[in-house]
């Protein structure tokens, strides 16, 4: 069965409504919907959705929206990725990938080896930027529930995760393989899972010890060294494939 087209509609309400200009462009130019075409309209802010049809296109796009229901495409389990604050646009890439791959929370963690220092206004603007990227990625992949984005010191980041979650700290010098542990963790439907990874320079021994003290398990992805961004996509991709 082909999955129905999904499009985000802000302030989604039952009945007839005219959509904003950017949404109109998305519906008619990107999705190429004509009058009469049907799709699933979802509201990223409320995680509700409805069947919708294009009513008219002349002078703005108008929709017929049927009864709202809780959105169907939401992440299947609480899934957190803690990413050590990295240089350049690496964290942007991690937020985008994590959103597409079903993360419900991305925490950017300030680590001892984080080269970037975010203070004051830069802190706020960076957090806003990541939140915007998450919303945009959720829209593009058809998710009704963009992940929550936080920026915390490493010690807080690893302490803030639900104790019921299986928590895996990716560490290059650790030999316990992730595969069998993750397979076991995904068996329980809806059970929370969390991953943590350091910045480019890796985690310090103290940071690893702190996570372990908080109940995180150190795991390895094998002998090849992965870039920061690749590690996030690999482990979240594994969860997604195993859940499919």
Residues that bind a second copy (CB under 8 A): 1-3, 72-73, 96-97, 100-102, 140-143, 172-173, 175, 177-179, 182-183, 219-227, 230, 233-238, 240-244
Beta carbon nearer to a second copy, 126 or 143: 143
Beta carbon nearer to a second copy, 38 or 140: 140
Element (H, E) at 70: strand 69-70
Minimum distance, C-beta of residue 46 to a second copy, in the bound complex (Å): 18
Sequence-distant (≥ 6) Cβ neighbours of residue 188 within 8 angstroms: none
CA distance 123 to 227: 24
Minimum distance, C-beta of residue 237 to a second copy, in the bound complex (Å): 3
Beta carbon nearer to a second copy, 25 or 123: 25
CA distance 38 to 64: 9
Minimum distance, C-beta of residue 22 to a second copy, in the bound complex (Å): 18
Minimum distance, C-beta of residue 76 to a second copy, in the bound complex (Å): 8
Minimum distance, C-beta of residue 156 to a second copy, in the bound complex (Å): 27
CA distance 150 to 82: 9
Beta carbon nearer to a second copy, 179 or 215: 179
Residue located via tokens 């979240």: 236
Beta carbon nearer to a second copy, 17 or 31: 31
Sign of CA dihedral 110, 114, 117, 123: negative
**Residue count (the chain):** 244
């Amino acid at each position: 069965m082909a999955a129905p087209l999904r499009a985000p509609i802000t302030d989604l309400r039952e009945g007839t409504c005219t959509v904003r200009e950017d949404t109109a462009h998305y519906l008619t130019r990107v999705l190429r919907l004509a009058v009469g075409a049907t799709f699933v309209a979802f509201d990223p802010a409320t995680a509700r959705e409805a069947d919708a049809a294009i009513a008219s296109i002349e002078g703005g796009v108008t929709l017929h929206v049927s009864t709202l229901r809780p959105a169907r495409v939401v992440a299947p389990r609480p899934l957190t990725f803690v990413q050590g604050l990295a240089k350049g646009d690496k964290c942007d890439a991690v937020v985008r990938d994590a959103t597409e791959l079903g993360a419900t929370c991305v925490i950017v963690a300030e680590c001892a080896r984080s080269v970037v220092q975010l203070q004051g206004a830069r802190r706020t603007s960076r957090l806003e930027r990541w939140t915007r990227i998450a919303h945009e990625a959720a829209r593009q992949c058809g998710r009704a529930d963009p992940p929550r984005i936080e920026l915390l010191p490493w010690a807080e980041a690893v302490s803030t995760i639900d104790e019921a979650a299986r928590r895996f700290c990716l560490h290059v010098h650790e030999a316990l393989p992730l595969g069998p542990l993750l397979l076991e963790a995904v068996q329980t439907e809806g059970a929370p899972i969390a991953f943590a990874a350091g910045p480019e320079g890796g985690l310090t021994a103290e940071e690893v010890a702190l996570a372990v003290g908080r109940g995180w398990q150190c795991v390895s992805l094998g002998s090849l060294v992965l870039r920061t961004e690749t590690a996030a996509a690999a482990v979240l991709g594994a969860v997604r494939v195993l859940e499919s």
